Amino acid sequence: MQEIISIVLPVFIIVGLGYVANWRSWLVDTHFDALMKFATNFAVPCLLFVAISDLDLSSSFNPDLFISFYSGAFACFLIGVLGARYLFNRDWEDCISIGFSCFFSNTVMLGLPIAERAFGAHSLAPNFAIVSMHSLFCYSIGITAMETVKARGRSVLGAVRTVVKGLLRNILVLSILAAFFVNLSGLTLPGPIVDSFSLIAKSALPVALFAIGGILFRYKPEGDTKTVLFICFVSLIIHPAIALLIGTSLQLSQENLRAVVIMAAVAPGINSYLFASLYGRAMRVAASSVLFATGFTIISASLWLVILG
């Protein structure tokens, strides 16, 4: 157990340092916003581009890998929506936002560093394969569901346009699409460009983790506590449990099974709050779930690492 904690703890020490830096006013909110903007708009896209453009798609893109992770994710979205509606009596727009928080795992900023420390950088190919589809899958489901609920009988074509427009404005999606183009086309980029992208990519995870800590400081624990705990339970327990069950039944390799479970066993990402902000629905609940679930992840990730052996 001590070894497991030594794997997980450094990730959360970096988050904690960001939190303390804001608490002690060594840095202020605008600094953390700038750091997060750098991470999400530059460093993480570079990380994804470098990793996916060089990924062996024939071996990494295992259909059973995606079925195991994304079946669990979609199930948690439905559980979140229905639970919000029938357990907490929320209106449908709030339900979609809460469902989004239940299935948008923080795969990049928590999942990748935990997996890297636990199993080594050489084992991350299936993790990057999951990440390559994550924003596309989650935003497609979330935006489609929200626009359908908001439409209330309006044009389906209009909802589709909104989904496509939202995806094409997402820098993570664009960087992933560009990486797939380079990978599939066999295009060779000049060495200096690849090296510069790689240098920026190395800063992505530590900067993002530090920025998360500072940003979480401003999210006071507000909103419906029962709903927040429900989101934490669904995202940290139900999702990895489903992923483990399906992955085991599909006889995934140990490397792939570890990837789907660890990527499923982390807290909702900042994107869940951004999605709630986009529609102005369940924003306090989304923010509080990010805060609490990020703290709980140190326990849940450790337990799932023990289960995985």
CATH of the domain at 206: 1.20.1530
Residue 280 lies in a domain: yes
User: pLDDT tens, 60-71?
Assistant: 678 999 999 999
Average pLDDT over residues 278-302: 83
Residue 149 lies in a domain: no
Which residue range(s) make up the domain with 236? 2-132+171-308
Residue 183 lies in a domain: yes
Q: How far apart are CA 260 and CA 11, in angstroms?
A: 19
pLDDT tier at 22, thresholds 50, 70, 90:
very high
pLDDT at 167: 67
pLDDT at 102: 94
Residue 46 identity (one-letter amino acid): C
Work out how many domains the chain is built from and give that number: 1
Residue 83 lies in a domain: yes
pLDDT at 94: 93
Q: What angle do CA 18, 20, 23 make, to 5 degrees?
A: 115
Contacts of 20 (CB under 8 A, 6+ apart): 26, 213
Q: Among residues of the chain, what percentage have pLDDT more than 70?
A: 90
Residue 139 lies in a domain: no
Phi, psi values for residue 280, rounded to 5°:
65, 35
Q: How far apart are CA 8 and CA 15, in angstroms?
A: 12
Residue 24 lies in a domain: yes
Residue 141 lies in a domain: no
Residue 138 lies in a domain: no
